[in-house]
């Protein structure tokens, strides 16, 4: 058995086409990205996001600060973007330099402009089952499962990784779709005991080969979020040999990566709808 490829590039192209039509209908939409420092990977991610935004008719605003920037200076920029009516979405690229407390920055972003879905209000909405803006990678994973009609309700889903941007929110989305969800992490004993039970396996830890081929359930659906640069090139978190056991599997690259950018653009359009009053954004009670 060879796994059917969960082709993120193809689905992302369809989603971007829909976003392009929505953006044209709404008029000018602004997405501001903030990069502190010169992390090479972050620079690549920002470039790809800007190229994709411009392709679908979203105006991308690139704000860059030196790595010595203080937390207060960054918070000041975020407040400036919050107040800017030409900006519908704000994304602060992580990781941030050590002198800056990331949670405080995320709490400062206007929740209705929080296209990364990391503000506590948006995270809370997801927790309660009333999602507003949700992190893009988990949204992309769920879209891939839906596109290929992979049953979620009643399935055993195992998420390896507990990050705020992928692991925890995708676990919540799977749970809301009635999967039975297990979250594994670096302290999990006997990881294979859990992964071998997974009808749906999502791995997002950033460690090449952390899940070996023989740790994947035969006939399962496997989503590899990892992007690891090695001497052999760009590889995921799962041994590619798992494709001989799984029924469905994302490629690396070309799987989750394109979906993340497409769903980020979708979040930006959703934020624009919130700000124009076309979709009601829940009242934030302090």
Q: Which of 7, 93, 113, 239 is catalytic?
A: 93
Q: Which tokens in the block code for residue 248?
A: 């469905």
Burial of 103 (0-12, 13-18, 19+ CB in 10 A): exposed
Q: Is 93 a catalytic residue?
A: yes
d(CA 222, CA 199): 8
Q: Which tokens in the block code for residue 108?
A: 């400062």
Q: Which of 49, 88, 114, 224 is catalytic?
A: 49
Strands 228-230 and 233-235: antiparallel
Q: Is 125 a catalytic residue?
A: no
Q: Which of 7, 110, 114, 116 is catalytic?
A: 116
Among 269, 271, 250, which residue's Cα sits nearest to residue 17?
269
Q: Which residues are registered as beta bridge partners of 89?
A: 31
CB-facing half-sphere around the CA of 183: CA atoms within 13 A: 14
Q: Is 217 a catalytic residue?
A: no
d(CA 145, CA 30): 30
How many Cβ atoms are within 10 Å of 213's Cβ, its own excluded? 15
- Residues catalogued as catalytic: 49, 93, 116
């Amino acid at each position: 058995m060879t796994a059917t490829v969960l082709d993120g590039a193809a689905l992302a192209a369809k989603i971007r086409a829909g976003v392009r039509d929505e953006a044209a209908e709404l008029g000018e939409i602004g997405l501001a990205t903030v990069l502190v420092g010169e992390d090479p990977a972050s620079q690549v991610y920002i470039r790809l996001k800007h190229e994709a935004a411009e392709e679908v008719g979203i105006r991308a605003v690139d704000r860059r600060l030196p790595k010595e920037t203080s937390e207060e200076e960054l918070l000041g920029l975020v407040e400036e973007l919050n107040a800017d009516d030409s900006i519908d979405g704000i994304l602060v690229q992580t990781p941030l330099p050590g002198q800056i407390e990331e949670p405080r920055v995320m709490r400062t972003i206007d929740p209705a402009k929080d296209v990364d879905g990391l503000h506590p209000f948006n995270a809370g909405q997801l927790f309660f089952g009333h999602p507003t803006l949700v992190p893009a990678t988990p949204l992309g994973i769920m879209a891939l499962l839906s596109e290929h009609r992979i049953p979620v309700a009643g399935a055993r889903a195992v998420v390896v990784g507990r990050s705020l941007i992928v692991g925890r929110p995708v676990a919540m989305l799977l749970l809301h779709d009635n999967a039975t969800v297990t979250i594994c992490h670096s302290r999990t004993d006997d990881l294979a005991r859990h992964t071998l039970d997974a009808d749906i396996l999502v791995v997002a830890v950033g460690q090449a080969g952390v899940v070996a081929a023989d740790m994947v359930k035969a006939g399962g659906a496997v989503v590899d979020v990892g992007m690891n640069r090695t001497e052999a090139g760009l590889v995921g978190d799962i041994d590619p040999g798992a494709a001989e056991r799984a029924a469905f599997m994302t490629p690396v690259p070309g799987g989750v990566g394109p979906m993340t950018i497409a769903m980020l653009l979708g979040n930006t359009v959703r934020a624009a709808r919130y700000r124009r009053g076309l979709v009601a954004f829940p009242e934030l009670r302090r």
